[in-house]
Amino acid sequence: MTASELRTLLIHRISEINDISFLKALKTILDTKTESGVIQLTPNQLDDIITSKKEIQQGMFLENSVLDKEVRQWLRAR
């Protein structure tokens, strides 16, 4: 069976399904396999990204090496 034939068969079979939870599960699977590579973000995720970028511009971050050192010190103190 070719990819085109399989796609046609699946489209036909999916069109016969009425179970909304099953269709949502299929959509989730299909969303992870789209070839566009575009990730759809929620409004909250977009807000978090904008906030994080502003914090970085304001110097409100730690270098990874500094954070690693702080974590090691914290673990030793326990």
Three-state DSSP class for residue 15: helix
pLDDT of res. 32: 78
**Torsion from C-alpha of 14, 19, 21, 26, nearest 10 degrees:** -10
pLDDT of res. 36: 67
Average pLDDT per run of 10 along the chain, which is 78 residues long?
92 94 92 73 94 96 94 94
pLDDT of res. 31: 80
pLDDT of res. 53: 96
Whether the Cβ atoms of residue 55 and residue 61 lie closer than 8 Å to each other: yes
Domain boundaries, the chain: 3-32, 43-77
Residue 37 burial by CB count (10 A; 0-12/13-18/19+): exposed, middle or buried?
exposed
Rounded Cα–Cα distance for residues 30 and 70 (Å): 42
